[in-house]
């Protein structure tokens, strides 16, 4: 076979010569496969080879501050490590960082050049944004090979795409990407007065409050994975509200199948606890009963397996693992073994022999294991897993801070100089990379998303979901903290490292290589020509991408999508999907074609040509920063260069012409945000007494300011269009939906609104239709598809009909338009005598004249699947087309035309010099006093940093994070106050909701 040992690695990127890389990646492991005996040893070596040959990457972002205000700049430093060594990566050279709104819409994506495993950048929180909890998401392309799954969606929504393959690409999601959530407050009304007001984006939906018995989530996690007949099984449980709030101090009675109480337990820290089932019975019926808020609850435990191995792990100076088999499980002809793996690399292998006993023990010295999350797997020679468990090993080799910072004074006067002295503990480690933030402590904010380089690399990156306040697990090494950390790992059902894929039992799909340079890849398809011979004009108005009108009876059977709902074309196209309509054109390409790519930046031009392989192409682009123009076309002529020149002379800049081929770029970016947990968008709360909220000399004895949150999401309001959900360039929107596969490579006004709505809101995770409306330059309009024929269903009042009769364009005011709440920025409502000429209407139908698209919606992608959207009042999407001002226009093209974003260019952080006394009226309101993405150390491992204070008395906060060349995290934070014996602690603030 190509890969020895039957390691099933499947290369997905067609048309790319990537086999060489795979051979190199696996070459380290080939020697292990030569003596594959017995079978368990062979599987162990395959896992070892996979972990070394195909290591994963992890990302951590260090931010300059803990919270921000609209109009602020977010400065950040990205660190990317490789899992097998823990050192800065030498695999990927490009890092992607995305800023997402509180509701989950993409604000900006930055591509960063990463020559040495680190990169730094900045996002500007423009005034068009709104307050709330924003997310920074970061990843490399190589990371997207791991943890793939299909995003939940309605089956019918796949029919909106050109073909099933494009639908699959759109709905591909990823389990574990780096995420950091932080609060963004309203722009200060008075410069320098940082009032922590948070005015959330106004949502018009009214969510009916649930009454009666609360919905709770109780989950059970048998240690090792299963309840096994005849064994003693340790079971962890976790109790949360439906929103994810942990419920502590709730008592459970555990009943056997006969209803007899056999044990009890009580939830502790973060709603978790354990209990033991002795001699588990084979019949089903174990259950837990408890009370909450006066209501009784009864939840069944997982099903009992007849055969298997129960596992219990304990830890002191040794890792002690007790294994107990079921009575019927007596023979393991291919052998049985236990493997411990850390960071994707196996650490030890122990052969297991029960003999004639039901129990056996395995002990492993901790010095044979790595500090961090370790994965214990019990398996046989066939690759069957009998038990699997995560545990944390702490050898205390990361306890030291690795860096010291001196020179911090208790308080600084206005414009006073600040001098900090930094010193590395290990001066031999010259490869240490450290970023430094110095900020005004008075405007900091503590949240539950407060991880550091240490907690991210050692813990949070290894497990699923969000870990609130991860530093808690490392603040002390006592029995309570070790127990809570162990419980955290017991309730994790997800594994970053899939053992069966690594062992070659299941196929592993490798889609991407580590990026070394900028590239483009895509595919060529047939251009569908539905309208070439069937130009229905305005009468072919496509009313919706969804399947049901708002007035339809919701109990009516849901039918396949009907894109064409007017009488003109209903008989011809009723009930047909996109694939049905375009079937003759979307068949696979029968022959390869040439793709011609022209790159233009300034006065520089470069043209590349490549013949497709299985209709796909892959090109290394010229290196460029910021924006670069790309023109893309395909030709099947014998002389593609001459053919391209000919096409550029005729119809090249006519967007109404049909291109010969549908050429698209294949984007790999994740399309969906993860929902926030209960604690990600919640202020940090504590049970410390109020006396601890004041610190003399920090806030002059004043209690810390509260955070005011406005616009609760369950309030019914008239639509407020002062803040669009997102603003996007019209041509960029067209490229986006075209590359997603929602059209055939040509702009069509009839489907444009629906395609935009689908790109940003897709199917909202439900079968029900949502309303899509169009506005023209802030004016809500409505198209009458039968302008010459009166139909009572087309008009909502006699007044509307009278307006339509005098308006030959067939444009009406929307019947559901509501005057916005008073806001100086809101457009003036237009009266009912508004009309529009056909000439101006035509401009809204051409990309040539469209500038921006404002999207308004009361749908939040983070809440897809929420019970709130299952109620009667459904979300809606408004697409507002904005023309270029002053009759302006842009160049548009028949073939694909892009403005690509290259490497982001980050300016240096500005730090003023007040060595000379400033003028009396000088005001400096900096919250971040200094941000250095890369501290320069001398040969002694020392660095001196100088800066100046802002224009008020200030207590500073200093934070340094990074990683050494040996892969050891560097974390140093100045003490905020002493509330306990802990080395580091924080002040907390409360929330007042109005």
Q: Give the residue, 539 or 378, on which the prediction is more confident.
A: 378
- How far apart CA 163 and CA 579 sit, in angstroms, is 6
Q: Is the pLDDT of residue 799 over 50?
A: no
**664 with 738: CB under 8 angstroms?**
yes
- Stated length of the chain: 994
Q: Give the residue, 867 or 539, on which the prediction is more confident.
A: 867
CB proximity list for 575: less than 8 A, separation 6 or greater: 559, 560, 561, 562
When pLDDT is cut at 50, 70 and 90, the band that residue 918 belongs to is: confident
Cα separations (Å) of 462 from 58, 177, 495, 636, 680? 9, 11, 8, 49, 18
Say how many Å lie between the first and final Cα of the chain, rounded: 67
**pLDDT at position 107:** 95
Instruction: Give which of 660, 648, 631 is closest to 527, Cα–Cα.
Output: 660
Q: Give the residue, 562 or 46, on which the prediction is more confident.
A: 46
**pLDDT at position 962:** 96
**445 with 989: CB under 8 angstroms?**
yes
- How far apart CA 156 and CA 525 sit, in angstroms, is 22
Q: Is the pLDDT of residue 6 over 60?
A: no
Q: Is the pLDDT of residue 165 over 60?
A: yes
**pLDDT at position 771:** 85
Cα separations (Å) of 206 from 64, 691, 772, 994? 37, 40, 18, 17
**pLDDT at position 682:** 85
**pLDDT at position 529:** 55
**753 with 845: CB under 8 angstroms?**
no
Q: Is the pLDDT of residue 591 over 50?
A: yes
**pLDDT at position 942:** 93
When pLDDT is cut at 50, 70 and 90, the band that residue 586 belongs to is: low
Q: Give the residue, 161 or 6, on which the prediction is more confident.
A: 161
Instruction: Give which of 278, 279, 267, 281 is closest to 236, Cα–Cα.
Output: 267
Q: Is the pLDDT of residue 191 over 50?
A: yes
**pLDDT at position 807:** 33
Q: Is the pLDDT of residue 820 over 60?
A: no
- How far apart CA 267 and CA 249 sit, in angstroms, is 5
**48 with 5: CB under 8 angstroms?**
no
Q: Is the pLDDT of residue 142 over 50?
A: yes
The tokens for 110 are 């930055």
Q: Which segment, 116-125, 562-571, 984-993, is predicted with the most confidence on average?
A: 116-125
- Helices (H), ranges, 473-512: 479-490, 499-502
Alpha carbon 285 to its chain's center: 39
Q: Is the pLDDT of residue 765 over 90?
A: no
The tokens for 931 are 């941000």
**pLDDT at position 706:** 57
- How far apart CA 237 and CA 895 sit, in angstroms, is 57
DSSP string, 216-242: EEEEEEETTSSEETTS-EEEEEEEEET
Q: Is the pLDDT of residue 718 over 60?
A: no
- Mean pLDDT for 398-409 is 91
Q: Is the pLDDT of residue 520 over 90?
A: yes
Q: What is the pLDDT of residues 302-319, one digit of tens each?
A: 999 999 999 999 998 899
- How far apart CA 141 and CA 617 sit, in angstroms, is 18
Longest alpha-carbon distance in the chain: 95
Q: What is the pLDDT of residues 27-59, one digit of tens each?
A: 333 333 333 338 999 999 999 999 999 999 999
- How far apart CA 282 and CA 286 sit, in angstroms, is 10
Q: Is the pLDDT of residue 136 over 70?
A: yes
Q: Give the residue, 848 or 724, on which the prediction is more confident.
A: 848
Q: What is the pLDDT of residues 669-704, one digit of tens each?
A: 999 999 999 999 887 765 433 332 222 222 222 233
Q: Which CATH architecture has domain 216-305?
A: Sandwich (2.60)
57-194 shares its CATH topology with 216-305? yes
When pLDDT is cut at 50, 70 and 90, the band that residue 1 belongs to is: very low
- Determine which of 64-68, 771-775, 877-881, 982-986 has the lowest per-residue pLDDT on average: 982-986
**pLDDT at position 553:** 39
Instruction: Give which of 372, 202, 224, 397 is closest to 305, Cα–Cα.
Output: 224
- Helices (H), ranges, 771-896: 798-806, 838-843
Instruction: Give which of 661, 651, 595, 597 is closest to 628, Cα–Cα.
Output: 597
Q: Is the pLDDT of residue 719 over 90?
A: no
Q: Which segment, 194-203, 280-289, 522-531, is predicted with the most confidence on average?
A: 280-289
**pLDDT at position 650:** 78
Exposure letters 451-486 (e unless 16+ CB within 10 A, then b):
bbbbbbbbbbbbbebbbbbbbbbbeeeeeeeeeebb
- How far apart CA 427 and CA 257 sit, in angstroms, is 64
Question: Could you tell me what percent of the chain has a pLDDT over 70?
Answer: 78
CA–CA–CA angle 73, 77, 79 (5° rounding): 155
Q: Which segment, 146-155, 198-207, 288-297, 783-792, is predicted with the most confidence on average?
A: 288-297
Q: Is the pLDDT of residue 505 over 60?
A: yes
Task: Work out the number of other CB atoms within 10 angstroms of the CB of residue 410.
Answer: 8
**pLDDT at position 855:** 94
**pLDDT at position 822:** 35
Output the average pLDDT for the chain. Answer: 81
Question: Could you tell me what percent of the chain has a pLDDT over 90?
Answer: 60
Q: Which residue bears the tokens 């066939």?
A: 382
**H/E run at residue 47:** helix 39-53
Q: Is the pLDDT of residue 144 over 90?
A: yes
Q: What is the pLDDT of residues 615-661, one digit of tens each?
A: 999 999 999 999 999 999 999 988 888 887 877 777 788 998 889 89
**pLDDT at position 669:** 95
Task: Work out the number of other CB atoms within 10 angstroms of the CB of residue 936.
Answer: 9
Q: Which segment, 175-189, 581-595, 854-868, is predicted with the most confidence on average?
A: 175-189
Q: Is the pLDDT of residue 815 over 80?
A: no
Number of alpha helices (DSSP H) and beta strands (DSSP E) in the chain: 13, 51
Q: Is the pLDDT of residue 785 over 80?
A: no
> Could you tell me the CATH superfamily of domain 57-194?
Macroglobulin (MG2) domain (2.60.40.1930)
- Mean pLDDT for 977-981 is 31
Q: Is the pLDDT of residue 111 over 90?
A: yes
Radius of gyration of the chain (CA): 31
CB proximity list for 858: less than 8 A, separation 6 or greater: 203, 204, 205, 719, 875, 876
Q: Is the pLDDT of residue 556 over 60?
A: no
Domain ranges of the chain: 57-194, 216-305, 520-670+717-901
- How far apart CA 470 and CA 508 sit, in angstroms, is 31
Instruction: Give which of 581, 480, 588 is closest to 533, Cα–Cα.
Output: 581
Q: What is the pLDDT of residues 482-504, one digit of tens each?
A: 999 999 999 987 888 899 999 99
Alpha carbon 442 to its chain's center: 31
- Mean pLDDT for 845-871 is 89
Q: What is the pLDDT of residues 329-374, one digit of tens each?
A: 888 888 999 999 999 999 999 999 998 899 999 999 999 999 999 9
- Determine which of 29-38, 325-334, 381-390, 963-972 has the lowest per-residue pLDDT on average: 29-38
């Amino acid at each position: 076979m190509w890969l020895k040992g039957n390691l099933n690695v499947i290369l997905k990127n067609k048309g790319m010569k990537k086999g060489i890389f795979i051979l190199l990646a696996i070459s380290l492991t080939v020697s292990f496969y030569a003596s594959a005996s017995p079978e368990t040893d062979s599987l162990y070596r395959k896992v070892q080879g996979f972990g070394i040959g195909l290591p994963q990457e992890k990302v951590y972002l260090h931010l300059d501050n803990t919270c921000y205000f609209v109009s602020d700049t977010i400065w950040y430093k990205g660190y990317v490590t490789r899992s097998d060594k823990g050192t800065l990566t030498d695999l990927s050279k490009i890092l992607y960082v995305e800023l997402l709104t509180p509701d989950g819409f993409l604000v900006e994506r930055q591509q960063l050049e990463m020559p040495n495993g680190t990169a730094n950048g900045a996002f500007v929180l423009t005034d068009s944004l709104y307050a709330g909890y924003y997310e920074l998401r970061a990843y490399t392309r190589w990371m997207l090979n791991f943890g793939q799954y299909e995003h939940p969606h309605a089956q019918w929504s796949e029919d909106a795409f050109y073909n099933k393959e494009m639908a699959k690409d759109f709905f591909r999601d990823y389990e574990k990407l780096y995420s950091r959530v932080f609060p963004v407050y309203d722009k200060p009304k008075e410069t320098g007065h940082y009032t922590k007001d948070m005015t959330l984006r106004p949502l018009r939906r009214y969510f009916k409050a649930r009454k009666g018995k609360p919905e709770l989530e109780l989950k059970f996690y048998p240690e090792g994975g299963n309840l096994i007949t005849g064994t003693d099984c340790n079971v962890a449980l976790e109790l949360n509200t439906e929103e994810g709030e942990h419920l502590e101090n709730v008592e459970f009675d555990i009943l056997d199948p006969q209803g007899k109480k056999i044990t009890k337990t009580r939830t502790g820290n973060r709603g978790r606890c354990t209990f033991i089932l002795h001699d588990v019975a084979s019949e089903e019926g174990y259950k837990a009963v408890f009370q909450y808020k006066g209501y009784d609850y009864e939840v069944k435990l997982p099903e009992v397996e007849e055969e298997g191995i129960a596992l219990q792990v304990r830890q002191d100076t040794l890792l002690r693992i007790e294994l107990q088999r079921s009575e019927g499980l007596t023979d393991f002809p291919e052998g049985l073994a236990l493997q411990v793996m850390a960071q994707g690399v196996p650490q030890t292998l122990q052969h297991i022999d029960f003999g004639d006993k039901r129990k056996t023990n395995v002990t492993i010295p901790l010095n044979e294991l790595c500090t961090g999350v370790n994965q214990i797997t019990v398996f046989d020679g066939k690759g069957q897993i009998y038990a699997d468990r995560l545990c944390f090993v702490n050898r205390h080799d990361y306890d030291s801070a690795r860096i010291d910072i001196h020179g911090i004074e208790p308080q600084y006067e206005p414009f006073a100089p600040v001098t900090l002295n930094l010193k590395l503990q290990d001066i031999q480690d010259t490869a240490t990379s450290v970023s430094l933030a110095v900020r005004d402590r008075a405007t900091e904010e503590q949240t539950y998303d407060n991880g550091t380089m240490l907690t991210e690399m050692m813990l949070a990156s290894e497990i699923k979901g969000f870990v609130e306040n991860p530093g808690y697990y490392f603040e002390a090494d006592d029995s309570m903290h070790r127990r809570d950390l162990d419980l955290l790992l017991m309730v994790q059902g997800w594994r970053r490292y899939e053992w069966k894929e690594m062992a070659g039992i299941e196929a592993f799909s490798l889609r991407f290589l580590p990026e070394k340079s900028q590239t483009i890849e895509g595919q060529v398809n047939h251009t569908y020509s539905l309208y070439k011979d069937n130009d229905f004009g305005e009468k072919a108005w496509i009313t919706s991408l969804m399947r049901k009108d708002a007035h339809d009876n919701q109990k009516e059977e849901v039918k396949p999508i009907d894109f064409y709902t007017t009488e003109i074309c209903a008989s011809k196209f009723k009930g047909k999907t996109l694939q049905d309509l375009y079937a003759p054109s979307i068949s696979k390409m029968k022959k390869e074609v040439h793709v011609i790519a022209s790159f233009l930046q300034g006065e520089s031009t470069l043209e590349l040509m490549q013949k497709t392989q299985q209709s796909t192409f892959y090109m290394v682009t010229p290196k460029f920063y910021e924006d670069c123009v790309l023109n893309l076309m395909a030709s099947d002529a014998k002389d593609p260069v001459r053919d391209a020149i000919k096409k550029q002379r005729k119809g090249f800049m006519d967007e109404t012409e049909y291109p010969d081929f549908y050429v698209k770029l294949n984007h790999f970016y994740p399309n969906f945000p993860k929902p926030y947990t209960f604690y990600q968008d919640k202020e940090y709360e504590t049970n410390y007494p109020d006396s601890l909220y004041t610190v003399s000399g920090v806030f002059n004895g004043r209690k810390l300011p509260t955070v005011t949150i406005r616009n609760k999401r369950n309030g019914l309001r008239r639509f407020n269009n002062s803040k669009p959900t997102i603003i996007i360039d019209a041509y960029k929107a067209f490229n986006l939906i075209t590359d997603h596969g929602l059209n055939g490579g040509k702009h069509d006004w009839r489907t444009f609104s629906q395609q935009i709505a689908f790109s940003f809101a897709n199917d909202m995770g439900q079968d029900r239709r949502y309303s899509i409306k169009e506005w023209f330059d802030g004016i809500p309009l409505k198209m009458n598809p039968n302008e010459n024929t009166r139909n009572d269903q087309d008009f909502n009042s006699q007044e509307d009909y009278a307006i339509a009769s005098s308006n030959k364009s067939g444009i009406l005011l929307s019947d559901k338009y509501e005057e916005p709440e008073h806001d100086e920025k809101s457009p003036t409502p237009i009266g009912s005598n508004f009309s529009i000429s056909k000439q101006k209407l035509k401009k809204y139908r051409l990309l040539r004249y469209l500038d921006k698209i404002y999207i308004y919606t009361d749908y939040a992608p983070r809440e897809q699947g929420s019970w709130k959207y299952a109620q009667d009042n459904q979300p809606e999407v408004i697409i507002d087309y904005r023309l270029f001002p002053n009759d302006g226009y842009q160049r548009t093209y028949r073939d694909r035309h892009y403005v690509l974003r290259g490497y982001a260019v980050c300016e240096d952080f500005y730090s003023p010099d007040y060595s000379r006394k400033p003028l009396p009226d000088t005001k400096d309101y900096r919250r971040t006093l200094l941000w250095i993405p890369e501290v320069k150390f001398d040969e002694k491992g020392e660095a001196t940093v100088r800066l100046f204070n802002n224009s008020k008395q200030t207590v500073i906060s200093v934070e340094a994070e990074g990683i050494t060349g040996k892969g050891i995290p560097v974390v140093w934070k100045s003490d905020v106050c002493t509330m306990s014996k802990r080395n580091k602690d924080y002040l907390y603030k409360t929330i007042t909701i109005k």
